């Protein structure tokens, strides 16, 4: 099948499929005599696997690790379990960060006196004056 058909079947944009191919997340397709890529059921399965991993917010690196582990089907599934365990840890960290963000925003909202003008808005004032500690690049987020 051609890339457009594959995109339609998976719901993944053509550009994304090409990116996954470039990043070696999917197998390299064969080429026709006209040099068109020729995709197979295997590519469809690979893309659906990636799509499901991305739905769980897994990084490309985590997906690469999963795919590498899957190249050894007779091995113990410890490697896959470890990848998922690490991802769950990242999710827990993100949930904790989101809870803090929610509490901070709720505090800001509760300080609002809706009858004030925007010039006097305590939410705007708070956003202008508070210091929010965003995670440093690559420190807490597994997305880097």
pLDDT value for 134: 63
pLDDT band at 140 (very low <50, low <70, confident <90, very high): very low
pTM of the complete model: 0.77
pLDDT band at 35 (very low <50, low <70, confident <90, very high): very high
pLDDT value for 131: 82
CATH of domain 3-55: 1.10.1660.10
Mean pLDDT value across residues 36-52: 97
Beta bridge partners of 31: 37
Mean pLDDT value across residues 27-46: 95
pLDDT value for 13: 98
57: Cβ–Cβ under 8 A, 6 or more apart, which residues? Answer: 91
Q: Whole-angstrom distance between the N-terminal and C-terminal Cα of the chain?
A: 35
| pLDDT greater than 60 at residue 142 | no
Burial class from Cβ neighbours inside 10 Å (0-12, 13-18, 19+) for residue 50 reads: buried
pLDDT value for 106: 93
> How far apart, in whole angstroms, are the C-alpha atoms of residue 98 and residue 95?
5
Q: Could you report the per-residue pLDDT of 61-105, keeping only the tens digit for each?
A: 999 999 999 999 999 999 999 999 999 999 999 999 999 999 999
Sign of the CA dihedral 54, 58, 61, 62? negative
Query: How far, rounded to the nearest angstrom, does the alpha carbon of residue 49 sit from its chain's CA centroid?
Result: 13
Contact by Cβ (8 Å): 65, 79: yes
| pLDDT greater than 60 at residue 31 | yes
Q: What residue spans define the domains of the chain?
A: 3-55
pLDDT band at 118 (very low <50, low <70, confident <90, very high): confident
> How far apart, in whole angstroms, are the C-alpha atoms of residue 114 and residue 23?
51
State both tokens at 30. Answer: 């064969």
> How far apart, in whole angstroms, are the C-alpha atoms of residue 58 and residue 87?
7
Task: For residue 135, give the DSSP letter.
Answer: P
State both tokens at 109. Answer: 């909202």
Mean pLDDT value across residues 40-63: 97
Closest CA to 70 of 53, 92, 91: 53
């Amino acid at each position: 099948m051609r890339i457009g058909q594959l995109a339609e079947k998976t719901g993944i944009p053509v550009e994304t499929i090409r990116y996954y191919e470039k990043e070696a997340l999917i197998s390299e397709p064969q080429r026709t005599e006209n040099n068109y890529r020729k995709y197979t059921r295997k590519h469809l399965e690979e893309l659906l696997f990636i799509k499901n991993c991305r739905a769980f917010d897994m990084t490309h690196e985590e997906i690469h690790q999963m795919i590498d582990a899957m190249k050894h089907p007779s091995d113990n599934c410890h490697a896959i379990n470890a990848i998922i365990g690490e991802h769950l840890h990242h999710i827990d960290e993100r949930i904790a960060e989101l809870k803090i963000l929610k509490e901070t925003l709720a505090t800001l909202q509760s300080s609002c006196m809706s009858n004030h003008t925007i010039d006097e808005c305590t939410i705007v004032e708070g956003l202008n004056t508070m210091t929010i500690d965003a995670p440093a690049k690559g420190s807490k987020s597994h997305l880097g």
